[in-house]
Structure 1
Amino acid sequence: MNNQIIDTLKESFNGPLLQENPDANVSKSERIISLGTGAFILFNGITNIFSHPLISLGKIMIGGSLLQRGLTGYCPLKSAMEDSFETPAPLPLNSPQTYSVS
């Protein structure tokens, strides 16, 4: 029973929901987690909009961002982090000075 449910979920995610994106920098498992978490946070923000409006707006923005990350497979924050951690090219060791040892 559980395997059938899991297989059904896998097939539904592999369809149009998790399409391949050439600019994607998020793995499939991260995308699925982002979709689930984003939907939960977004729903929580929408249901509490009248009791805590500012907190709910923050939740709606975060949940929407996670949903966008999960649907497109691209995360601008992850891209910026990867770019900042790239190692710079080594400096050339050409020395114009010559030394003689006698």
Structure 2
Amino acid sequence: MTSLALQQRYKGVAAEQESINLSQAERTVSIATGVKLALSGFKGIFKSPFSSIIKLGAGGYLLNRGITGHCELYSRMGRNSTEPVNVNIRSSFLIDKPRQQVYDFWRKLDNLPLFMKHLESVDLIDDTRSHWVLKLPVGLPKVSWDAEIVKDEPGYSIGWSSLPDSLIDNAGKVRFQDSPDGNGTLVDIIISYRPPAGGFGGGIAHILNPVFKNMVDDDVRNFKQYMDIDDTYVVYE
């Protein structure tokens, strides 16, 4: 084989690899679902021709998707590989409360659902580990994960990270600083998450980023309002 032919062959292989944007699990599910739809379409072709044609078309699409490992929808969304996509969200705000008081409230993590409306609960396992549950529409399965505080500077910062094998791989850090006039607290929040590699979440992560940013901003406003208005909360055991 000539060097030119080898180069063309390697380019073809590379192009094929670059076009794969589905994980192996997604490809398996696509093939299985495609076969099921196609068989159902064949069985009912004479009884319900219209619905059968739709099933055959959908089955063929899923089979092609699974066999090639390529999803055109993902490509149009900018998902061109199976590498996970990191989403980083940052927000800063001022709260009219002393720094230590704001830190103490946040450090008791089971306080978070009081203002983070997308959280159903945060249960403390021990002094550093906690169990988080997202609030989802009725009928959907619960999404939960365990997290651990990996850095704690009392009165100044809290850093956490999800534990290995969590459904949602995420990490965050909150920093607390005295405001310039010394009467309030500057809070700086950084949250990062990584959807499962090759998953649909990864495929649209860059589209969902503004949605998650708005969600965090809403929670931030809730937190600020809660801290500025409510002086009755308990921050100690």
How would you bin the TM-score normalised by the shorter chain?
Answer: 0.5 to 0.7
Counterpart position of 1:71:
67
Q: Give 2:77's aligned amino acid.
A: M
Q: Partner of 2:50 in structure 1?
A: 54
CA distance in 2, matches of 1:82, 1:59: 28
2:68 aligned partner, one-letter code: T
**Which residue of structure 2 lines up, in the alignment, with residue 26 of structure 1?**
22
Q: Which runs of 5+ in 1 are unaligned?
A: 1-20, 88-102
RMSD: 2.1
Partner SS, residue 78 of structure 2: helix
Give the unaligned 5+ runs of structure 2: 1-15, 80-203, 210-237
Q: What letter matches 1:49 in structure 2? A: I
Cα distance in 2 between the residues matched to 1:49 and 1:77: 28
2:41 is aligned with what amino acid? G
Q: Name which of 38, 41, 45 aligns with 1:45.
A: 41
In the TM superposition, residue 82 of structure 1 has moved relative to its aligned partner by 3.1
> How big is the shift at 1:49?
0.4
Greater strand proportion: 2
Aligned residue-pair number: 68
Q: Amino acid of the residue matched to residue 69 of structure 1?
A: R
Which whole-Å deviations, capped at 9, do the CAs of 1:47-96 have from their partners, x for residues lacking one? 10000001000000000000000000000011112368468xxxxxxxxx
Q: Partners in 1 of 2:40 and 2:54 — Cα distance?
A: 11
TM-score (norm 1): 0.60
* Identity value in percent: 37
Once residues 41 and 28 of structure 1 are traced to their aligned partners in structure 2, the CA distance between those partners, rounded to angstroms, is 20
Higher RCO structure, 1 or 2 (CA under 8 Å, sep 6+): 1
For residues 37 and 78 of structure 2, the distance between their equivalents in structure 1, rounded to whole angstroms, comes to: 26
Which aligned runs of 4 or more in structure 1 are off by greater than 6 angstroms?
none
